[in-house]
Amino acid sequence: MKELTCIVCPNGCRLEVEEKDGEWIVSGNQCKRGEQFAIEEMTHPMRTICSTVRTVFPEAPVLPVRVSVEIPKERIFDVMQEINKVMVREICGTGDPVIKNVLGLGADVIVTSSILKEE
């Protein structure tokens, strides 16, 4: 049995998870997402990452970005390397991808601020 703290929402439920006859038994969760989190955490932990990309615009030298869907935890630093290669040269805003399907992981790296579109 393993104890986990759920990171899905601020409730931070204390979860207990164990494998029985090839099935994962999760307890302590207050919602369905907690169960999914616990099972993923035991099999293939996933995370969202947020960072910034550089721009050519002096009023906003960096622009916040995040991955559009979760990526495998062990690939975080690989994705960071890709994010750090980006230089934004055109005006873009919230939701616009700066990298599509990063490293083939099925996640886009998307902009999370429309600061460049402000007058």
Partner 1 sequence: MKEYDVIIIGGGPAGLAAAISADKQGAKVLLIEREARLGGILKQCIHDGFGLVRFGEKLSGPEYVERFIHEFRERKIESELLTFVTEMKKADGSFMLTAVNRQGVQEYMAKALVLATGCRERTAKQVQIHGTRPAGVMTAGTAQHFVNLQGKMPAGRCVILGSGDIGLIMARRLTLEGARVLGVYEVKPEPSGLTRNIVQCLDDYQIPLHLSHTVTRVFGEGQLTAVEVAEVDEHMRPIESTKKKVACDSLILSVGLIPENEMAEKLGIRLDGHTKGPFCDNHFMTEITGTFSCGNALHVNDLVDYVSESGELAGAAAAKYAFDAVGVGSEARIKSEGNGSETGLKVEGNGDKFGKKAGECSGGSGRKNAELEIEVNSSLQYIVPQKLCLGSGEEMAVFYFRSRESVAKGTFVFTVDGKEVFTKKYRNLKPPEMERLELNLSLFQAAPGSRIEAAVRKEAGA
Looking at residues 36 to 65 of the shown chain, list those that interact with partner 1 (rule: CB under 8 A).
47-52, 54, 61-62, 64
Q: What is the DSSP string of 70-82?
A: -EEGGGHHHHHHH
Looking at residues 9 to 38 of the shown chain, list those that interact with partner 1 (rule: CB under 8 A).
9-10, 12, 14
**Cβ proximity to partner 1, 24 vs 66, nearer residue:** 66
Backbone angles phi, psi at 29, to 5 degrees: -80, 145
**Alpha-carbon span 107 to 67, nearest angstrom:** 6
**Cβ proximity to partner 1, 64 vs 97, nearer residue:** 64
What residues make contact with partner 1 under the rule CB under 8 A?
4-7, 9-10, 12, 14, 47-52, 54, 61-62, 64, 66, 73, 76-77, 80, 94, 112-115, 118
